[in-house]
Amino acid sequence: MAIPLFSPKNPVSLAGRIRVLRDDFPVLREQIHGKPLVYFDNAATTQKPRPVIRVMSEYFEKQNANVHRGVHFLSELSTTLYEEARKTVADFLHASSPAEIIFTRGTTESINLIAQVLGQSLIQPGDEIILSELEHHSNIVPWQLLCERTGAQLRVIPILENGDLDYEAGMRLFGPKTRILALAHVSNALGTVNPLTSWIRRAHECGALVLIDGAQAIPHLPVDVADLDCDFYVFSGHKLYGPTGIGVLYGKSSWLERLPPWQGGGDMITSVTFQKTLYAAPPQRFEAGTPPIAQAIGIAEAIRYLKSVGYTDIQDQENRVADHALRRLREIPRIRLIGEPRERAAIVSFVLEGIHPHDVGTVLDQQGVAVRAGHHCAMPLMEHYRVPATVRASFAFYNTENEVDIMIEALEKAVELFGR
């Protein structure tokens, strides 16, 4: 059972509990340019705890074999571990069945999969696909490609200056031609947490299906796909303290059973002749070829680890660190915060007036502080705020307020270096 971070009955102090958790992440002990690593690039990828590293190493050392194909012991063991991982993910998301979980290479591939197969079966010229101004390129470009293939059109929900969706303007976009709503759960660039329920309900009233990009939400928020009632939910393992090279596509069985395969090959068929091929039922229909077996085992272990820490405690710690960062950043006169949404995940974006974000990022790196500087694969959002890029500090539960103070000192050095 997890030890609550802030329980009055917890005999371990807050600082002590965080130290215990940080010890699970070997990379956090590294020195960068002679300075202790302060890792604030968690929105790009989270660090990996020892249990995830261990189970993947054990798989390659003792269990490695292909799945679904062999009758020998190692193949059957690998198949069991792989399918147990699928069940772990299904339970984590509150899916109705493991058959609703498809393993992909990541969020990007999951969105491309759906955009590809819907183009074969659902989208017609003049149909409309609704996105938001907050979206990552991975939730823009696949839909643009679909529009180019089919003659459909994109409609874009604008944002308010604080980084929230413009509810009234967005709701006016829905109509009889709306076929798809593809929406981020959490903005990767601003940390905006979108209130999904009303948007999903409105899309379904129009007969449209809904895909939610959960890449940035899944490390910070508990997700219940049954409660959300979305048709598809996608995320990546490496943002969830798991390995790279694996993503998850949740799809309602009623939709998955209707959709054609998107890639052909082994394991997605029941019968092949030169005259006709019969395809397997979901999820195998969408998993052609050898799947990411070790990565699936790794993401399942990451989920178990995350649950052992507990989302309530994760949110408490991350909010504490993010709030401290916002307070300290406001002390620097030249800081301009980009987006101040009503509900924020543990992401803060800002610019230092007169200093390019890449230069800021370089100075911070010299002090051991890892942040992301750039457009964050959200160029339309950067255009909205009339900036070429921002500095993004994104936090995980293993980050501390002391690390924020180190970042602030490094930002003050950047101000001194580039002049006042």
Q: Name the residues annotated as catalytic.
A: 377
Decide: 191 and 169 in contact? Cβ < 8 Å: no
Residue type, 142: P
Angle at Cα 372 formed by Cα 366 and Cα 375, nearest 5°?
135
Q: Is 339 left (phi over 0), alpha (psi -120 to 50) or beta?
A: left
- Residue 225's nearest CA partner among 316, 85, 97 is 97
Cα–Cα dist 278/35, whole Å: 58
- Residue 376's nearest CA partner among 130, 191, 121 is 191
Cα–Cα dist 405/394, whole Å: 14
Residue identified by tokens 């916002």 is: 326
- Residue 52's nearest CA partner among 306, 332, 319 is 306
Cα–Cα dist 187/388, whole Å: 17
Cα–Cα dist 373/387, whole Å: 12
In sequence order, what are the beta bridge partners of 279?
269
Cα–Cα dist 179/130, whole Å: 8
Cα–Cα dist 181/132, whole Å: 9
Please, what is the end-to-end C-alpha distance for the chain in angstroms? 52
Cis preceding-peptide flag for 283 (omega within 30 of 0): yes
Two tokens at 258? 């209707």
Cα–Cα dist 193/178, whole Å: 23
Neighbours of 120 (CB within 10 A): 13
